[in-house]
Structure 1
Amino acid sequence: MKAIILKKAKKQRGLLTYGMILCIPLLLGNGSCSEKQDIYSNWGIYKADGESTSYSPLDQINKENVSKLALAWVFEPNDTIAGARPQNSESNPIIIEDVLYTTSARGRLFAVDAGTGGLKWSFDPFNGERGGGIKRGVTYWEDGLDKRILFTGGDKLFAIDASTGMPIPEFGNAGKVDLNEGMRGDPDKISVIPTSPGIIFEDLLILGTEVSELYGAEPGHIRAYNVRTGELTWTFHTIPLPGEVGYESWPKDAWKYAGGANSWGGFSLDASRGVVYFSTGSPAYDYYGADRKGMNLFGNSVVAVNARTGAYIWHFQTVHHDLWDYDLPAPPNLITVEHEGRKIDAVAQTSKVGFIYLLDRETGKPLFPIEERPVPPSDIPGEEAWPTQPFPLKPAPYARQYLDESDLAHYSPESRDSLIQVFRSLRYEGIFTPPSVKGTLQFPGSRGGSSWGGAAFDASTGLLYVRSNDSPEIMRMKKVEPENAITNLSVFKQGESIYSTYCVSCHGRDKNGDEQGNPSLVGLKGRISEGDVLTKIKQGGGKMPSFSSVINDKAKEEAILAYLFENKSIGSPQQEKSLLDEINNNQNASIETQAVEGLNRYLNLTAYGYFRDSKGRPGIKPPWSLLHAINLNTGEYAWSVPLGNKPELQEGIQETGDTGSAGPTVTAGGLVFIAGTRDNKFRAFDKDTGEKHWEIDLPGFANANPSSYMVDGKQYIVLSVGGNSKNTAGSVMAFSLPD
C-alpha cells in the first residue's frame, strides 16, 4: 500500500504547492479522503494549508471511533540545558510524505519518522548555546530533488536540506541569513526574531517578525527572501515611507523612529491570485502614542499584497491608533462563503477583542456591516486617542466585551468586597477605555478574544471554530521623566529600579512570577549564566519582548544583573541617566528622533496585569474560555461550550473554562481537536453539536495547535507537549486508532 501511495503522490506533487498531497475527492466536492483511497492529504504547512484553515480532509478517526484514540508514539527531544525549568513548545509540526518536521522549545530542528516517532536527524541553530524563543513551526520547499526546510533560530534564517539536516551552502552565508540586515536599525545593535513560520510563493519565502513593544522598537517590515539564494527580494513597510500608501496616517517623520506594526502570527496565501494576506500588531509603544498621532496604518490591519512583488493591494484596519496592545494575532482564514445568494471568496480575521472581521478577499470590503462608533477619549496629557473604532455588527462578538459589578466573582464576601473596591477605583467606560494614570480596567484584555492559535474552518459546512478568552487586565500608566532619575544609587539599587519599572508587572515584586507563563526569577544563580540572562533580556522570547532599547549600555547591563543575581555589594554608586534618557537613548537614536525627544513618555507599570482577587483567582465569573462554532454564511452561532476547567473553582456540573492561546483543528471525521488549557488535557468535540467525545491527560501543558496526517494507511493526530519536572524538554505525542 505504501509504495502505491508514494508513487502516485510523487506524480501529483509537481502540480501542487509546498509538496502537499491534496485530496482529489475534496477538491471535486464529492467526499472526503479515507484510508481506502490511494491519494491522501498530509499536513505540509503551518495550519494545514495556504489558506490557514487548520482543516484535515482525513476521516479515519471520526465521531464513532474517537473514544478508542490512543497514544501511538512519543518523541522526546531531550535537548534542554542542565538545570532548565520545564519548557513549552508552540510548534505545529508539518509532515512531508512520511517525515515529520518540528522544532523543540529550545529552538532545535528535528526530522522524525511520522509513523514511529524515530529520530532521523536534528539541527541546532545555536551551536550548543542555550537558544530558546518561540517557534510555531517550519516551512517546506522543493524543486525536484532539491528539498529544503526554512526556519528561524534567533535572528537568523536557515535553509536546511530536508533529507540530511545539513545547511544548504549556497543559501545566504553558508546556509543562513542575518534577519537584522535590511531593517532600519544597525544590524549589530538590534535583534529581529520571527516567532511564526513564513509562507512559500514560487521561489519566495515571505516572512514577518517579532520586534520590541517599547519605545525605539524596529518597524515590522514584511520581507520576501529568495528560497534558493537567501537574497532579500522585496520589502513591504508596515510603517509607510514618504509616498507610500498610509504615510499620511502618521506624523511626518514617524517612519524614521516609530516601530511595531509587525506581523508575528503568520501568513495566508491565495496562490491562484498571487496574493499574500497577513495581519499586524499594534505600533510601539503599545500603550501611549503621543509620538505617533494619527490612525497609524498599517498597525492592527488585515493587509493584502502582491506575493511576487510586495505591492500594496488593500487593507482593513481593525483598531485605529491602538493603545491597548490589541494585536491581530493569527493569520487570516481564507474561505468561501454563501453571502446574499452568491459564493464569495473572503477573509475571516480573528482578534483579541472577540470580533470576527469578514472581508471580501479581492477588495477588503466588509461582507457584514461594520460601524464606526465613538469611544472614550484619553485623559493622559499629549495623547490623542482616535475618537471612533470599528464595530462589526455580525457575527456577534465571540468574547465578552462588557462587564459590571454583577459580573464580578463571589468566592467569599471578603473576596467580592475587595474586587468591588478595586473595580470602582479604576477608570472603566466599556471596550476601548484608554489607559490612564488612575488605572484602567481593560476588557477584553490584551490576552482576550483569541490568540495566535487562530481559527479552523470547515468549507463543507461554512463553520468557523475559534476559542475565546475572557480575561480582564489592569493598565496603570506612569509618567517617566527626569525627576525619576536614579542618581547616586548602588549598582544593585539601580538594577532594582530598572526591574520595578519594566519587569515587575510580569514577574512580580517578589520575582516569583505566576502560573501564566511568567517564570520565577528567584534563585537564578547556579541554574543559568549571567550571559544567558542578558541575552534573554535583549532578545526576548515567548511572551517577553526584547528590552534591548532599555538595557543599552554596560552600566545598565551590570545593574540589572546585579539585582537579578542578588549581588548587593558589586561596584560603587554611579551617576545614572534618567529613565527618560534610557528610553530615548535607544538603538535608533539619531538626529531624526530629536523631533520627538521632547515629548512625554508614559509606561504601563501593570502591563498584562490580571484582574484577580487577593488569592490570585479570576476577578470575574466563569466561563473564562469557550469554544465556538460560527456559521460564516449567516453570521449566526451554531454552538458554544466551555473549554478547559479549573476544578477547584468549579460550581455544579458546568466546567469553568480555562484561558489559553492555542487553536483548534477540524477534520472531515466530524471532530474538533484542541489543547492549550492549563488542566493539561487534549480534547475532541463533535463539530456539529459541540459534544465532547474524547479527552486525555497529557504529561505537560500543550500550548500548540494539533496537526493531522496519514502514513501507511493510518491517520494520526500529533501535538507538541510542554515539559515537566522529569522531562523538561517536553515531547511530541502522536495518537491513532488501535490496529
Structure 2
Amino acid sequence: MKTAILTKAKNQKYPVTLGVILGTLLLLGSGACTQNRGTYSNWGIYKADGESSSYSPLDQINKENVSKLTLEWVFEPNDTIADGRPQNSESNPIIIEDVLFTTSARGRLFAVDAVTGLLKWSFDPFDGERGGGIKRGVTYWEDGPDKRILFTGGDKLFAIDASTGVPIPSFGKEGKVDLNQGMRGDPDKISVIPTSPGIIFEDLLILGTEVSELYGAEPGHVRAFNVRTGELVWTFHTIPQPGEVGHETWPADAWKYAGGANNWGGLSLDASRGMVFFATGSPAYDYYGADRKGMNLFGNSVVAVNARTGAYIWHFQTVHHDLWDYDLPAPPNLVTVKQNGRKIDAVAQTSKVGFLYVLDRETGESLFPIEERPVPSSDVPGEEAWPTQPFPLKPAPYARQYLDETDIADYTPSSRDSLIQVFRSLRYEGLFTPPSVGGTLQFPGSRGGSSWGGAAFDASTGLLYVRSNDSPEIMRLKKVAPEKAITNLSVYKQGESIYTTYCVSCHGRDRNGDEQGNPSLVGLKGRMSREDVLTKIKQGGGKMPNFSSVISDKIKEEAILAYLFENEIKERSRRETSFLNEINNNQDASRETQSIDSLPRYLNLTAYGYFRDSKGRPGIKPPWGMLHAIDLNTGEYAWSVRLGNNIELQFGEQETGEAGSAGPTVTAGGLVFIAGTRDNKFRAFDKDTGEKLWEIDLPGFANANPSSFQVDGRQYIVLSVGGNSDNTAGSVMAFSLPD
C-alpha cells in the first residue's frame, strides 16, 4: 500500500491526500511497520538541539544528489472545521527514534510514523472546541520507560505520554498546569500563552511566554517547571523587583504595573555549564514609555541564567528603552568561534534591526567592537528616549538600515510621486527615529531584520545562515485620555472600534483580507456561528493570536459580534477605544494599586502599517528578502543571495526577494534548506556559495523551519506546510532520495 501511494505522490506537483483511513490502518497494524527499525539520527529538540543550531549532521542528501529529492510522504491533520479557511502552521517537528511529533495550525498534538507519515495518535488540548494559536513545536523528556511530550495549548501546559497520547495524571491537575497561576495578575483575568516550546534541563522544563503589549500587560516572567509534577520551581523576573539586578533601570514601582520584556522566541541551553540563554522583547507599551523611564532591563536583552535556579549570570541589552517594538525574536545560537588562535564559546543573537550580536558565552562581552552612538530624541511630550544605542561594528548589518529617495519604488511615475510625498511627510532620521504624532518612518521595521525562525549555524565552518527582511512601516502616535472606560458608544460602534484596533491591519478596512493569507470576513454570518467566531477570537489560530483579553466581558463579546455579523458600512473612528478597553482589562487584572493614571498615554494607531503604494505594493525597491552566510570567526560575509520572488513585481531576470519569518536549516551534506516565502516554494542552496541547487512548488505557504532526520540509514527533510482551499488544515511533508 505504501509503495503505490507514495509513488503516485512523487509524480505529482502537489501532494496527494493520505486521509484519515490510512491513519486508521496504521493503528491496526503499526507493529508490523516498525518492528525491524533500530538505528536513528534524529531532530529531537526545537531547532535541532540545545544550542539552537538548526544543524543536521546528516549528509546522505548532499550537493551532488539534492536535485533528485522527491516527496516521500504527506501527513494531513484533517482537523479544521467545516467551511474553515486555510491555516498556517509554524511547527518545527521533532523526531524521537522513528516517531515524529508536531502540532497542527489549530494547536492539536500529533504523533506520526516518521517513515510512512501515518498517524499513530493525536491529542486535542481544547476538548473539541475550535482552539488555535501559534505553536512552533513541542518538547520531549524521558527517564527510562517514562517518556513525555510537553507542550502548551492556550494558557495550559500539558504532559502527554509519548507512547499513547494520554495525559499523565500525576502532572499538575490531571495532566495540565494553568500558566496564568504564578503571574502578577489575577489568573482568572489574564491569559499567558507561550508560542515557542520550552527547553529541558535535567528534570526542569524552562519556558518563556507571550503576553499583551499594551499598558498594564503582564510581565514576561521566564519560569521553570518540574517535568514530573508540574510544580513551579523558579521564576526569573524580566522586569526586576526590588533588590534584583536591573531594578534601578526602571521607576521604583514599575514592577507593579509594567509589562512585556518577555521571551516568546524560545531558549538555548549549555548543559555542561548549567546555563540557559534567552532573548526578550520590548517592554509594554511598545511605542511610548513615559511610565517606564530608564533603560528598562531586561527588555530587548540576551540573558544568561543558572538553569537549576534561575539566578542571574549576565545580560546584554541590544536596545535601551525600546520605542520601536524591536524585539529579539529568536533563541540565541550557541556557537564556537576562533579569534587570535583560540576557540571561544559564544552566543550569536539575531535581531529585527539586522544586527548580529556575538557575545562571550561566559561573560556576555561582545567579541567584536560595539559603539554606543547618539540617536535622535523624542518630540512627544513626556517621553524620554534613551540618548544612545549600541551599534556593532562587525558583522555588518544583514538588513538594510537606512533609506533615501533613491530607494523608493518606481512602479509608475504616479506611484513613485505618491510614495515620495508620503516619505517626505514623515519624520525619518535613521534606525532609531522615535515615534511621533506627525508620523515616523520605521526601517527596517518591526517585521524587519529576521524573525522567530532565527539562524542556523555550521560548527565545521563557522558560518551562520540567516534570512533578512526589509519592510518599512509608518508609526503615528495619538494621545488618549487615561479614562477607565468610554461608554458613549453604541454596541455596534464599540465592536467597530475593536475591529479597527486589532483586526484591520490583517483583514483590511473593507474586511476583504489581503494577499498575505489573512482571510476575508465579508459574509461571515453565512459561514460561522456566533459561538465559533467567539472561540476563534479568544483562542486564535494559525497566524492569528489570542484576543481573549480584548473581549473579556459580555459587552465586548456582543460588540464585536454586532460589528462582524452586520454587513453595514460605518464611519471608522475612535480607534483608540478598544486599546483603552484592553488597557483597563490589564489593570483590572493587577493585584497592585496603580499609581500612573495621571501620566499621559499615546497609542500607535498605525502599528504594523506597511509603507506601500495605493495598490499595496512595497514602497521600496527590492530586494525585500535575502539569505546570508556570515563567517563568525572573521565577522565577514561569505555570500548573500535573494530569497524568494514576487513574479508580478519582477523586472528583468533578477528575483525580488520576499520577506518572511521562517528560518533555515543547514546540513553536513553541504545544503541550506529554507521555505517561508509567499511564492510557496521550498529551496536548497549550496552552503558554501549560495547557489540555488533545488526548489519545489508547495501546495501552500510553508511558514516553518525544516527538520532533518534519519531512520535505518535513510535521510528525510520534513516541513510543515500551510493549508489551501482543498486542504485547509495544511500538512507535514517529508522529502527523501529515491530508493
Aligned position for 2:652: 652
Superposed, which structure 2 residues align to 1:673-684 within 5 Å?
A: 673-684=673-684
CA shift in 2, pair 1:709/1:560, >3 Å:
same
Which sits farther off after the overlay, 135-144 or 500-509?
Answer: 500-509
Q: 1:165 to 1:594 in 2, by over 3 A?
A: closer
- 8 Å CA contact retained: 2:494, 2:578: no
Match of 1:259 in 2: 259
1:391 matched residue in structure 2? 391
Q: C-alpha offsets along residues 554-610 of structure 1, whole Å, 9 cap, x if unaligned?
A: 3222222211221779xxxxxx99768635522333584431111122111111111
Q: Which residue of 2 aligns with 1:708?
A: 708
Code of the residue aligned with 1:122 in structure 2: it is S
Q: Give the corresponding residue for 2:665.
A: 665
1:9 counterpart residue number: none
Q: Which residue of 2 aligns with 1:431?
A: 431
In structure 2, what is the Cα distance between the partners aligned to 1:160 and 1:174? 11
Name the TM-score, length of structure 2 as normaliser: 0.91
Matches within 5 A, 1:580-595: 582-589=581-588, 592-595=592-595
- Corresponding position of 2:166: 166
Q: Distance in 1 between matches of 2:538 and 2:480?
A: 21
Alignment partners' CA distance in 1, 2:528 and 2:427: 41
Write out per-residue CA displacement over residues 294-339 of structure 1, whole angstroms, 9 at most, x where no aligned residue: 1111111000000000000000000111111111000000000001
Q: Report if aligned partners of 1:482, 1:580 keep a CA contact under 8 Å in 2.
A: no
Paired position in structure 2 for 1:566: 566
* 1:455–1:465 CA contact under 8 A, matched in 2: yes
Do 1:660 and 1:677's aligned partners in 2 also have CA atoms closer than 8 Å?
yes
- Rounded to whole Å, the distance in 1 between the matches of 2:568 and 2:651 is 48
- 1:323 aligns with 323
Do the aligned partners of 1:215 and 1:549 also contact (CA within 8 Å) in 2? no
> Counterpart amino acid of 1:322?
D
Kindly report which structure 2 residues correspond to 1:165-564, keeping only aligned pairs within 5 A, or say none.
Answer: 165-481=165-481, 488-540=488-540, 543-564=543-564
Show the counterpart of 1:69: 69
* 1:291 partner SS: helix
Distance apart, 1:515 and its partner CA = 2.2
Gaps of 5+ in 1: 1-37, 570-575
Aligned partner of 2:12 in structure 1 is none
What is the identity, as a one-letter code, of the residue corresponding to 1:149?
A: I
Q: Measured at CA, do residues 584 and 101 of structure 1 come closer, stay the same or move farther in structure 2, by a change above 3 Å?
A: closer
Structure 2: runs of 5+ lacking an equivalent: 1-37, 570-574
Alpha-carbon separation, structure 2, partners of 1:687 and 1:254 = 47
Indicate whether 1:698 and 2:691 are aligned.
Answer: no
Identity percentage of aligned residues: 87
Which residue number in structure 2 is paired with residue 627 of structure 1? 627
**Secondary structure at the residue paired with 1:586?**
helix
C-alpha distance in 2 between matches for 1:174 and 1:324: 42
Separation of aligned partners in 2, 1:240 and 1:665? 36
The equivalent residue for 1:46 is: 46
Change (3 A) 1:650 1:295: same
Q: Is the 8 A contact 1:452 1:661 kept in 2?
A: yes
The 8 Å contact of residues 346 and 360 in structure 1, kept in 2 or not, is answered as yes
Contact kept in structure 2, 1:505 and 1:605, CA below 8 Å: no
Q: Check the 8 A contact 2:475/2:606 in 1, yes or no.
A: yes
Q: 1:578 to 1:454 in 2, by over 3 A?
A: closer
- Count how many residue pairs are aligned between Structure 1 and Structure 2: 696
Q: What is the rounded CA distance, in whole Å, between the counterparts of 1:308 and 1:138 in structure 2?
A: 21
Deviations 1:635-687 (A, max 9, x none): 00000000000011111111100110000000000000000000000000000
Distance in 2, matches of 1:591 and 1:694, equals 56
Contact kept in structure 1, 2:129 and 2:535, CA below 8 Å: no
SS for the counterpart of 1:588 is helix
Q: Deviations over 1:240-273 (max 9, x none)?
A: 1111111111111111111111101101000000
User: Could you tell me whether the CA contact under 8 Å between 2:347 and 2:360 is conserved in 1?
Assistant: yes
Deviation, 1:490, is 2.7
Distance change >3 Å, CA 171–CA 91, structure 1 → 2 = same
Q: CA deviation at 1:222?
A: 0.5
Describe the shift of the 1:580–1:281 C-alpha distance in structure 2 as closer, same or farther (beyond 3 A): closer
Distance in 1 between residues matched to 2:543 and 2:435, nearest whole Å: 21
- Aligned residue for 2:417, secondary structure, equals helix
Q: In 2, are the aligned partners of 1:191 and 1:539 still within 8 Å (CA)?
A: no
Residue type matched to 1:429 in 2? E
Q: Which residue of 2 aligns with 1:33?
A: none
Report if the CA contact (8 A) 2:423-2:441 is conserved.
Answer: yes
Q: Tell me the distance in 2 between the aligned counterparts of 1:138 and 1:250.
A: 35
Query: Is the Cα contact below 8 Å between 2:54 and 2:457 reproduced in 1?
Result: yes
Shift of 1:384: 1.0
**What's the offset of the Cα at 1:487?**
5.2
Going from structure 1 to structure 2, the CA distance change for 1:603 and 1:187 (only over 3 Å counts) comes to same
One-letter code aligned to 1:693: L
Greater shift in the superposed pair: 527-536 or 169-178? 527-536
Residues 101-146 of structure 1 deviation map (CA, whole Å, 9 limit, x = unaligned): 1111111111111011011111111111101111100011000011
Query: Does the residue aligned with 2:528 lie in a helix, a strand or coil?
Result: coil
- Distance 1:167-1:485 versus aligned 2 partners, 3 A rule: closer
Q: Which amino acid aligns with 1:586?
A: N
Contact persistence 1:426–1:440 (CA under 8 A): yes
Distance 1:151 1:62 in 2: 33
Contact 1:671 1:684 in 2 (8 A): yes
Q: AA paired with 1:594?
A: Q
Larger CA deviation: 476-485 vs 377-386? 476-485
**2: distance between equivalents of 1:579 and 1:100?**
42
SS of 2:335's equivalent in the other structure is strand
Q: Distance in 1 between matches of 2:693 and 2:102?
A: 28
Counterpart CA distance in 2 for 1:533 and 1:256 is 34
Give the deviation of 1:537 after TM superposition.
Answer: 3.8
Q: What is the SS of the residue equivalent to 2:48?
A: coil
Work out the CA distance in 2 between the residues paired with 1:357 and 1:689.
Answer: 24
* Contact 2:112–2:119 under 8 Å retained in 1: yes
The Cα shift of 1:499 comes to 2.6
Closer, same or farther: CA 542–242 of 1 in aligned 2, 3 Å? farther
CA contact (8 A) 1:480 1:580 kept: no
Distance (Å, rounded) in 2 between the aligned partners of 1:61 and 1:454:
23
Counterpart for residue 25 of structure 1: none
Q: Does the 8 Å CA contact 1:483/1:578 hold for their aligned counterparts?
A: no
Structure 1 pair 592/142, CA: closer, same or farther in 2 (3 Å)?
A: closer
Q: Normalization by structure 1: what TM-score?
A: 0.91
CA deviation after TM superposition for structure 1 residue 177, in Å: 0.7
Inter-partner Cα distance in structure 2 for 1:365 and 1:641 = 31
Whole-Å separation in 2 of the counterparts to 1:484 and 1:159? 40
How far, CA to CA, are the matches of 2:76 and 2:405 in structure 1?
A: 47
Q: Distance in 1 between matches of 2:583 and 2:210?
A: 21
One-letter identity of the residue aligned with 1:454: G
Native 8 Å contact 1:552 1:587 kept in 2: no
With over 3 angstroms needed to count, the CA separation of the structure-2 counterparts of 1:483 and 1:168, relative to structure 1, is: closer
Q: 1:492 aligns to what SS in structure 2?
A: helix
The verdict on how the C-alpha distance between 1:134 and 1:580 changes in structure 2, with shifts beyond 3 A counting, is: closer
Contact 1:335–1:348 (Cα < 8 Å) also in 2: yes
- Corresponding residue of 1:718: 718
| Of 531-540 and 170-179, the range deviating more from structure 2 | 531-540
Report the CA distance shift for 1:200/1:577 in structure 2 as closer, same or farther (over 3 A): closer
Task: Tell me, in whole angstroms, the C-alpha distance in 2 between the residues paired with 1:55 and 1:130.
Answer: 35
> How far, CA to CA, are the matches of 2:483 and 2:111 in structure 1?
55
Provide the alpha-carbon RMSD of the alignment. Answer: 2.0
Q: 1:24 corresponds to which residue?
A: none
